A and B are shown apart, each in its own frame.
Chain A
Amino acid sequence: SYELTQPPSVSVSPGQTSSITCSGDNLGDKYASWYQQKPGQSPVLVIYQDNKRPSGIPERFSGSNSGNTATLTISGTQAMDEADYYCQAWGISAGVFGGGTKLTVL
Chain B
Amino acid sequence: QITLKESGPTLVKPTQTLTLTCTVSGFSLSTNGVGVAWIRQPPGKALEWLALVHWDDDKRYSPSLKSRLTMTKDTSKNQVVLTMTNMDPADTATYYCAHHVSNAYYLDYWGPGILVTVSS
Binding site for B on A (CB under 8 A): 1, 30-31, 33, 35, 37, 42-45, 48-49, 54, 86, 88-90, 92-100
The 8 closest A-B pairs by CB, nearest first: A95-B49, A48-B106, A33-B106, A42-B110, A90-B105, A97-B47, A100-B46, A99-B46
Chain A minimum-CB-distance residue to B64? A1
Q: Contacts A48-B106, A49-B104, A95-B105 given: A86-B47 contact, CB under 8 Å? A: yes
Give B78-120 interface residues, CB cut-off 8 Å to A.
96, 101, 104-108, 110-113
Instruction: Give Cα A44–Cα B96 distance, bound, in whole angstroms.
Output: 12
Chain A proximity mask over B39-60: 1 for CB below 8 Å, otherwise 0:
1000000111101100000001
Instruction: Give Cα A31–Cα B37 distance, bound, in whole angstroms.
Output: 17
Question: Are A94 and B46 closer than 8 Å at their CB atoms?
Answer: no
Query: What's the A-B contact tally at a CB cutoff of 8 Å?
Result: 66
* Residue with the greatest number of chain B CB neighbours at <10 A, chosen from A1, A42, A49, A96: A42
Question: Are B107 and A35 closer than 8 Å at their CB atoms?
Answer: yes
Residues of B in contact, count (CB < 8 Å)? 24
Chain A nearest Cβ from B71, distance in angstroms? 12
Instruction: Identify B111's interface contact among A42, A86, A96, CB under 8 A.
Output: A42
Question: Are A97 and B46 closer than 8 Å at their CB atoms?
Answer: yes
Instruction: Give Cα A45–Cα B101 distance, bound, in whole angstroms.
Output: 12
Instruction: Identify A94's interface contact among B62, B101, B108, B110, CB under 8 A.
Output: B62
